[in-house]
Structure 1
Amino acid sequence: MAEKKRSLSYYLLAGFFGLFVLFLYGPMSAIFLLSLQGPEGQLTFPMRGFSFHWLKAVFEPQRVGNFVDGFGRSLWLGLIVMLITVVFSVMAGLAFRRKFFGSNLIFYLTISSLIVPSILVSLGIGILFSIVGLDNQWYSSALAGHLTWTLPFAFLIMLGIFGRFNPAYEEAARDLGASDTTTFWQIVFPLIASSVIGVGLLGFTLSYDEFTRTSLISGETNTLPLEIFGMTTNVTSPALYALGTLTTLFSFALIAIALVAINYLSRQQTR
Structure 2
Amino acid sequence: MHEKRPGSFYVLAAFFIVFMLFLYGPTITIGILSFQGPQGGLTFPMRGVSTHWFHQLFQQQSVGDIWGAFRRSVALGLMVMVTTVVISVMGGLAFRKRFAGSGSLFYLIIASLIIPSILVSLGVGLIFSQLGWDVHWATSGFGAQLTWTLPFGLLIMFAIFNRFNPAYEEAARDQGASAWQTLRHVVIPIIAPSLIGVALFGFTLSYDEFARTLLTSGSHNTLPLEIYGMTTNVTSPVLFALGTLTTVFSFAIIAIFVAFAVAAQRRRSKLASDAGKATL
Structural mapping, 1:139-158, within 5 Å = 139-158=138-157
- Aligned partner of residue 139 in structure 1, secondary structure: coil
Deviations 1:157-216 (A, max 9, x none): 111111111111111111121111111111111111011101111111111111111111
CA distance in 2: counterparts of 1:125 and 1:245, whole angstroms: 32
CA distance in 1: counterparts of 2:15 and 2:151, whole angstroms: 32
Contact 2:137 2:213 in 1 (8 A): no
Structure 2 residue aligned with 1:116 = 115
CA distance in 1: counterparts of 2:161 and 2:190, whole angstroms: 10
Structure 1 residue aligned with 2:56 = 57
- Matching residue's letter, 2:130: I
Structural mapping, 1:1-271, within 5 Å = 8=5, 12=10, 16-61=15-60, 63=62, 65-271=64-270
CA distance in 2: counterparts of 1:57 and 1:86, whole angstroms: 38
CA distance in 2: counterparts of 1:192 and 1:59, whole angstroms: 41
Deviations 1:190-248 (A, max 9, x none): 11101110111111111111111111111221111111111112243211101111111
- Matching residue's letter, 1:179: S
Deviations 1:30-56 (A, max 9, x none): 111110112211101111111111112
TM-score by length of 2: 0.89
Contact 1:63 1:236 in 2 (8 A): no
Cα RMSD of the aligned pairs, angstroms, is 2.0
Deviations 1:86-127 (A, max 9, x none): 000110001000001121121111111112221221111111
CA distance in 1: counterparts of 2:61 and 2:39, whole angstroms: 16
1:23 deviation in Å? 2.5
- Matching residue's letter, 2:224: P
CA distance in 2: counterparts of 1:209 and 1:100, whole angstroms: 36
Q: Closer, same or farther in 2 for the Cα pair 1:164/1:234, shift >3 Å?
A: same
CA distance in 2: counterparts of 1:17 and 1:215, whole angstroms: 34
CA distance in 1: counterparts of 2:171 and 2:13, whole angstroms: 44
Q: Closer, same or farther in 2 for the Cα pair 1:248/1:179, shift >3 Å?
A: same
In structure 1, the gaps of 5 or more residues are none
In structure 2, the gaps of 5 or more residues are 271-280
Q: Bigger shift: 15-24 or 41-50?
A: 15-24
Contact 1:36 1:53 in 2 (8 A): yes
Contact 1:39 1:53 in 2 (8 A): yes
CA distance in 2: counterparts of 1:85 and 1:114, whole angstroms: 15
- Matching residue's letter, 2:90: M
CA distance in 1: counterparts of 2:60 and 2:3, whole angstroms: 55
- Matching residue's letter, 1:153: F
Q: Closer, same or farther in 2 for the Cα pair 1:57/1:154, shift >3 Å?
A: same
Deviations 1:46-96 (A, max 9, x none): 111111111122222355632111111101000100000000011000100
Q: Closer, same or farther in 2 for the Cα pair 1:7/1:107, shift >3 Å?
A: farther
Q: Closer, same or farther in 2 for the Cα pair 1:131/1:22, shift >3 Å?
A: same
CA distance in 1: counterparts of 2:171 and 2:86, whole angstroms: 25
Q: Closer, same or farther in 2 for the Cα pair 1:74/1:7, shift >3 Å?
A: farther
- Matching residue's letter, 1:243: L
The count of corresponding residues between Structure 1 and Structure 2 is: 268
